[in-house]
């Protein structure tokens, strides 16, 4: 719907009608994002008024203010609907009153409600209606909170509330990306303004650019987990400072550093004010690394320690996850910029000279030309550093060997915890009900017990699985037609092209999804390397293929925008336009539509730059098959029977080819491998049908994929692993 571009703050002119009493549980439910992964949660809200549900961006708080009095009365007298609402409310109450009593295998745990994990991240992708994420990192953080909640691991999270969030994407007629920023109105969202005991709003203050900047704090409830979001948009602040939490990754370097100061320093001060004494601080990516020096500063000020003594204590309490496999991807700042933002009083309070302070953020402590990096700071100040897949752990050890000074790369103390996804969030309701029936109502628990999971999946019949998948594909085709039609008519495309949107795609055709950030290493153009051959694959008479694309380019990445424009123009080609489509404005919701419904998910990053990747994991849990380069999580997941591997696992890009524009040789080899797989393996397998029209061997592979990948690549396993190996 176009509505997604409209601001959400169109206040109704008349007060919202009161909720009839049998519907009142909906109000309570709307205040906790738990509904978004509960069975029947989303559908309970949607069915209240499906049209308004779409218009208000799937935001239940907003929905409840917009539904008409008559519609409310109608639903309040529908016994079947009321029973569903009552059940949802009961499930929620049971979920929330279960004690938080996480324990590890040994029984005892130092992580308690009084001393929880404090999780810090610059972005959170909890739900589409909370626009404080841009992509993979945020979605991973959102999934982490949900699993911590489900596992009853005591955890609080800290982030920023961006006034304008991340940009919304549109494509011009020529295929160029245009960015639109939309206001976020906290009043429309399930956000509680955190208050002091006296009822005034609680604020934290950080000296930024030598001015005190204050932030108020919002709390979003994600199941049992509290997510605190700092917000500088308050009248006490100078106009510029109100924009510290303006855009997510939209501003210049200076905006970035002041945001990171607020997150790290302000976040620690917030937890202090709330009386929370974390057992461990988890820095999810280096953006929050300033929290380590704030912890040191507190110790120095309160206990008179030296910096070295304080740093030692901080190190006992902080752990760091790195997400970037290239030096250039790490956050670094010019010394002048850092000094301007942080001022000089801060380093004095740490008892450090300017050079000593700068050395904390340098790989080579005494190189005055080196900028200040948050990854070096985090690695130095944390007791544990980990990458996000086995391969990425390896790459990170090589990348940071110079900093740790270990003579042998295997000795560099960087480990890995492979990323996973939150199954109840990503699995389609229709597939979920198969799991409930055949694995059990407690399927998310059984997902962690490989044998039970595999046995459950084996009980699903080919017919049921294929029927469910086919229905989801029909939904995808309808979704694609609707979104494309709306985008084309809004953009002013030629009428024949606009009308053609209603006929594009066919549910019976092999459907391949490719949706990810448009960044050089993701190699969006690999598929188009031989356009004629691709056309033949797409238009093969017996075995046609259709492609759905989505993804945003970073606003400042001109090269990526050019690549995007090429793809966008290519799909106007009359010879492919009914079987290739680009869906604008890739987000959490579009991701859900795609990963739940495609037959195949394509990923062709330049090895070894895909730190982990998670979207393919979302596809696997829904029965889709991965067709991917052996990198990141897929290098661990692929076993020869559960999907397709593109290219050769041994020709990694070297640091030289990583920084250069690319590696033409491996690109050519990987493109050839990809075309050949599509022609000789993927399409033939998909179209190999029995007398009932069922692709038995394909379905067998779907089941292999669900059975083997589910237990490993989910966020319950991931969070459990963090708790056991990293937090405790
Ligand atoms: C899962 C997800 C991602 C991450 O996908 P990758 O596989 O890492 O590219 C990015 N954006 C959205 C909206 C997602 O849901």
Per-residue pLDDT reduced to its tens digit, 552-585: 999 989 999 999 999 988 878 888 889 999 999 9
- Judge whether residue 284 has pLDDT over 60: yes
- 10 Å Cβ neighbour count for 662? 16
Which ligand 1 atom sits nearest the alpha carbon of residue 590? Answer: 13
Decide if 110 is inside a domain: no
Which ligand 1 atom sits nearest the alpha carbon of residue 522? Answer: 9
The angle subtended at Cα 191 by Cα 186 and Cα 197, nearest 5°, is: 115
Which ligand 1 atom sits nearest the alpha carbon of residue 515? Answer: 9
Same domain, 392 and 409: yes
* Residues β-bridged to residue 646: 629
Which ligand 1 atom sits nearest the alpha carbon of residue 610? Answer: 8
- Judge whether residue 170 has pLDDT over 50: yes
User: Hey, whose CA ends up nearest to atom 9 of ligand 1?
Assistant: 516
User: Hey, whose CA ends up nearest to atom 2 of ligand 1?
Assistant: 136
Q: For residue 124, how far is its CA from the centre of ligand 1 (angstroms)? A: 12
Same domain, 395 and 437: no
Number of residues that this document lists for the chain: 728
- Judge whether residue 426 has pLDDT over 80: yes
Q: What confidence score (pLDDT) does residue 329 get? A: 76
User: Hey, whose CA ends up nearest to atom 12 of ligand 1?
Assistant: 135
Q: Strand, coil or helix: what is 523?
A: coil
Which ligand 1 atom sits nearest the alpha carbon of residue 140? Answer: 1
Decide if 108 is inside a domain: no
Same domain, 45 and 178: no
Q: In whole angstroms, what is the distance from residue 95 CA to residue 551 CA?
A: 35
Query: With bands split at pLDDT 50, 70 and 90, how would you rate the model's confidence at 661?
Result: low
Decide if 105 is inside a domain: no
Of 139, 169, 329, 715, the residue with max ligand 1 atoms within 8 A of its CB, to mutate for a pocket test, comes to: 139
Same domain, 510 and 593: yes
pLDDT tens, residue by residue, 4-53: 344 444 555 566 788 999 999 999 999 999 999 999 999 999 999 999 99
**Token representation of residue 571:** 């799909």
Same domain, 442 and 350: no
Q: For residue 493, how far is its CA from the centre of ligand 1 (angstroms)? A: 29
- 10 Å Cβ neighbour count for 172? 12
**Residues in contact with ligand 1 (CB, 6 Å cut-off):** 135-136, 139, 516, 586-588, 591, 613-615, 618
Same domain, 138 and 46: no
Decide if 445 is inside a domain: yes
**Residue 628, Cα to own-chain centre: how many angstroms?**
19
Which ligand 1 atom sits nearest the alpha carbon of residue 618? Answer: 1
User: Hey, whose CA ends up nearest to atom 5 of ligand 1?
Assistant: 615
User: Hey, whose CA ends up nearest to atom 4 of ligand 1?
Assistant: 136
Element (H, E) at 192: strand 192-193
Containing domain of residue 250, as a range?
117-419
Diameter over CA atoms, the chain? 80
Of 125, 128, 130, 135, the residue with max ligand 1 atoms within 8 A of its CB, to mutate for a pocket test, comes to: 135
Same domain, 523 and 410: no
Q: What confidence score (pLDDT) does residue 9 get? A: 45
Q: For residue 94, how far is its CA from the centre of ligand 1 (angstroms)? A: 31
- Judge whether residue 658 has pLDDT over 50: yes
Q: In sequence order, what DSSP letters do the residues of 583-637 get, joined into one string?
A: ESS--HHHHHHHHTT-SEEEE---TT--S---HHHHHHHTT-EEEEES-HHHHHH
Q: For residue 601, how far is its CA from the centre of ligand 1 (angstroms)? A: 12
* Residues β-bridged to residue 127: none
Same domain, 611 and 552: yes
Q: In whole angstroms, what is the distance from residue 361 CA to residue 647 CA?
A: 38
Of 124, 136, 584, the residue with max ligand 1 atoms within 8 A of its CB, to mutate for a pocket test, comes to: 136
Q: What confidence score (pLDDT) does residue 13 get? A: 53
Which ligand 1 atom sits nearest the alpha carbon of residue 592? Answer: 15
Contact assessment for residue 625 and residue 384, using Cβ atoms and an 8 Å cutoff: no
User: Hey, whose CA ends up nearest to atom 6 of ligand 1?
Assistant: 613
Query: With bands split at pLDDT 50, 70 and 90, how would you rate the model's confidence at 101?
Result: low
Q: For residue 590, how far is its CA from the centre of ligand 1 (angstroms)? A: 10
Query: With bands split at pLDDT 50, 70 and 90, how would you rate the model's confidence at 161?
Result: very high
> Pick the residue with more confidence: 498 or 3?
498
Q: For residue 119, how far is its CA from the centre of ligand 1 (angstroms)? A: 20
- Judge whether residue 607 has pLDDT over 50: yes
Q: Strand, coil or helix: what is 349?
A: helix
% of the chain at pLDDT higher than 70: 95
Q: For residue 390, how far is its CA from the centre of ligand 1 (angstroms)? A: 19
**Residue 363, Cα to own-chain centre: how many angstroms?**
29
Q: What confidence score (pLDDT) does residue 110 get? A: 86
Q: In whole angstroms, what is the distance from residue 172 CA to residue 179 CA?
A: 10
Q: DSSP state, 165?
A: B
- Judge whether residue 363 has pLDDT over 90: yes
Q: For residue 443, how far is its CA from the centre of ligand 1 (angstroms)? A: 24
266, HSE (Cβ side, Cα atoms, 13 Å): 35
Decide if 725 is inside a domain: no
Of 127, 615, 629, 634, the residue with max ligand 1 atoms within 8 A of its CB, to mutate for a pocket test, comes to: 615
Which ligand 1 atom sits nearest the alpha carbon of residue 591? Answer: 15
Q: For residue 609, how far is its CA from the centre of ligand 1 (angstroms)? A: 15
Same domain, 370 and 515: no
Q: For residue 289, how far is its CA from the centre of ligand 1 (angstroms)? A: 24
Of 357, 384, 419, the residue that ends a domain is: 419
Strands (E), 357-405: 372-373, 384-387
- Judge whether residue 667 has pLDDT over 80: yes
Q: What confidence score (pLDDT) does residue 650 get? A: 72
Q: What confidence score (pLDDT) does residue 569 get? A: 87
Q: For residue 607, how far is its CA from the centre of ligand 1 (angstroms)? A: 18
User: Hey, whose CA ends up nearest to atom 11 of ligand 1?
Assistant: 135
For the chain, give the mean pLDDT. 93
Q: What confidence score (pLDDT) does residue 570 get? A: 86
**Residue 604, Cα to own-chain centre: how many angstroms?**
19
H helices of 37-190, in order, are: 41-48, 50-55, 60-66, 69-75, 79-97, 136-150
Q: For residue 148, how far is its CA from the centre of ligand 1 (angstroms)? A: 20
User: Hey, whose CA ends up nearest to atom 8 of ligand 1?
Assistant: 613
- Judge whether residue 325 has pLDDT over 80: yes
Region 208-236 average pLDDT = 97
Contact assessment for residue 699 and residue 642, using Cβ atoms and an 8 Å cutoff: no
Q: For residue 277, how far is its CA from the centre of ligand 1 (angstroms)? A: 32
Same domain, 413 and 435: no
Q: For residue 236, how far is its CA from the centre of ligand 1 (angstroms)? A: 37
Of 353, 385, 419, the residue that ends a domain is: 419
Q: For residue 136, how far is its CA from the centre of ligand 1 (angstroms)? A: 4
Q: What confidence score (pLDDT) does residue 331 get? A: 87
**Token representation of residue 554:** 């970073």
Which ligand 1 atom sits nearest the alpha carbon of residue 517? Answer: 9
- Judge whether residue 69 has pLDDT over 70: yes
- 10 Å Cβ neighbour count for 486? 17
Region 129-146 average pLDDT = 97
Q: In whole angstroms, what is the distance from residue 354 CA to residue 366 CA?
A: 12
Of 37, 166, 614, the residue with max ligand 1 atoms within 8 A of its CB, to mutate for a pocket test, comes to: 614
Decide if 720 is inside a domain: no
Which ligand 1 atom sits nearest the alpha carbon of residue 588? Answer: 13
User: Hey, whose CA ends up nearest to atom 3 of ligand 1?
Assistant: 136
Q: For residue 615, how far is its CA from the centre of ligand 1 (angstroms)? A: 5
Of 97, 131, 159, the residue that ends a domain is: 97
Question: Structurally, how many domains does the chain consist of?
Answer: 3
Q: For residue 515, how far is its CA from the centre of ligand 1 (angstroms)? A: 8
Same domain, 271 and 136: yes
CATH number for the domain spanning 301: value is: 3.40.50.2000
Q: DSSP state, 611?
A: S
Q: What confidence score (pLDDT) does residue 272 get? A: 97
Specify the pTM: 0.96
Q: For residue 135, how far is its CA from the centre of ligand 1 (angstroms)? A: 5
Region 112-131 average pLDDT = 96
Decide if 727 is inside a domain: no
Same domain, 403 and 496: no
Decide if 719 is inside a domain: no
Contact assessment for residue 2 and residue 54, using Cβ atoms and an 8 Å cutoff: no
């Amino acid at each position: 719907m176009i509505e997604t571009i409209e601001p959400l703050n169109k206040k109704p002119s008349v007060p919202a009608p009161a909720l009839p009493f049998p519907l009142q549980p909906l109000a309570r439910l709307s205040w906790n994002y738990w509904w978004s992964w509960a069975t029947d949660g989303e559908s309970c809200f949607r069915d209240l008024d499906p049209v308004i549900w779409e218009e208000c961006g799937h935001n239940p708080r907003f929905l409840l203010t917009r539904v008409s009095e008559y519609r409310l009365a109608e639903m309040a007298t529908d016994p079947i609907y009321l029973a569903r609402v009552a059940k949802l409310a009961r499930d929620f109450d049971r979920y929330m009153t279960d004690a938080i009593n996480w324990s590890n295998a040994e029984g005892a745990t130092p992580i308690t409600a009084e001393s929880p994990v404090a999780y810090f991240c610059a972005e959170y992708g909890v739900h589409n209606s909370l626009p404080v994420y841009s992509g993979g990192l945020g979605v991973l953080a959102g999934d982490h909170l949900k699993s911590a909640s489900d596992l009853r691991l005591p955890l609080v999270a800290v982030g920023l509330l961006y006034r304008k969030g991340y940009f919304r994407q549109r494509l011009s007629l020529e295929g160029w990306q245009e960015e639109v920023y939309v206001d976020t109105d906290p009043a429309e969202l399930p956000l509680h303004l955190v208050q002091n005991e006296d009822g005034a709003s609680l604020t934290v203050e950080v000296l930024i650019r030598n001015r005190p900047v204050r932030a108020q704090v919002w709390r979003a409830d994600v199941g049992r987990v509290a997510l605190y979001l700092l917000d500088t948009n308050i009248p006490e602040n100078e106009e510029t400072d109100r924009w510290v939490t303006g855009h997510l990754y939209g501003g210049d370097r200076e905006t970035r550093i002041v945001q990171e100061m607020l997150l790290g320093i302000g976040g620690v001060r917030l937890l202090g004010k709330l009386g929370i004494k974390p057992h461990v601080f988890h820095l999810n990516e280096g953006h929050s690394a300033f929290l380590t020096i704030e912890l040191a500063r507190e110790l120095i000020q309160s206990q008179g320690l030296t910096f070295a003594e304080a740093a030692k204590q901080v190190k006992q309490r902080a752990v760091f996850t790195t997400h970037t496999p290239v030096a250039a991807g790490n956050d670094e700042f010019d010394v002048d910029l850092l000094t301007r933002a942080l001022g000089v009083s801060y380093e004095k309070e740490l008892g450090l000279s300017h050079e000593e302070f700068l050395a904390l953020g340098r790989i080579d402590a005494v190189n005055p030309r080196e900028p200040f990096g948050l990854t070096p700071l985090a690695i130095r100040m944390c007791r544990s550093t980990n990458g996000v897949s086995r391969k990425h752990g390896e790459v990170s050890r090589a990348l940071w060997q110079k900093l740790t000074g270990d003579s042998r790369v295997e000795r560099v103390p960087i480990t890995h915890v492979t990323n996973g996804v939150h199954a109840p969030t990503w699995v389609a309701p229709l597939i979920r009900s198969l799991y409930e029936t055949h694995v059990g109502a407690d399927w998310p628990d059984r997902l962690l017990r490989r044998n039970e999971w595999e046995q459950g999946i084996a009980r699903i019949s080919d017919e049921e699985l294929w029927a469910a998948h086919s229905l989801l594909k029909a939904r995808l085709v309808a979704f694609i037609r609707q979104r494309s039609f709306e985008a084309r008519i809004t953009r002013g495309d030629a009428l024949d092209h606009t009308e053609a949107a209603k006929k594009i795609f066919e549910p019976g055709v092999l459907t391949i999804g490719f949706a990810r950030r448009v960044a050089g290493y993701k190699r969006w153009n690999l598929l188009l390397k031989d356009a004629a051959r691709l056309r033949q694959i797409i238009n093969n008479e017996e075995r046609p293929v259709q492609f759905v694309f989505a993804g945003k380019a970073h606003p400042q990445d001109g090269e990526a925008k050019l690549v995007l424009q090429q793809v966008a123009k290519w799909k106007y080609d009359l010879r492919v336009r009914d079987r290739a489509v680009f869906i604008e404005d890739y987000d959490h919701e579009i991701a859900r539509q795609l990963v739940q419904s495609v037959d195949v998910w394509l990923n062709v990053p330049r090895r070894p730059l895909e730190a982990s990747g998670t979207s393919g994991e979302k596809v696997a849990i829904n029965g889709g098959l991965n067709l991917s380069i052996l990198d990141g999580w897929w290098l661990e997941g692929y076993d020869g029977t559960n999907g397709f591997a593109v290219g050769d696992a041994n020709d990694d890009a070297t640091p030289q080819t990583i920084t250069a524009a690319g590696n033409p040789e491996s690109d050519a080899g990987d493109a050839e491998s990809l075309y050949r797989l599509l022609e000789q393996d993927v399409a033939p397998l998909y179209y190999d049908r029995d007398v009932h029209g069922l692709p038995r061997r394909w379905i067998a592979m779907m089941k292999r994929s669900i059975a083997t990948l589910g237990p490993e690549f989910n966020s319950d396993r991931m969070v459990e692993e963090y708790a056991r190996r990293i937090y405790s």
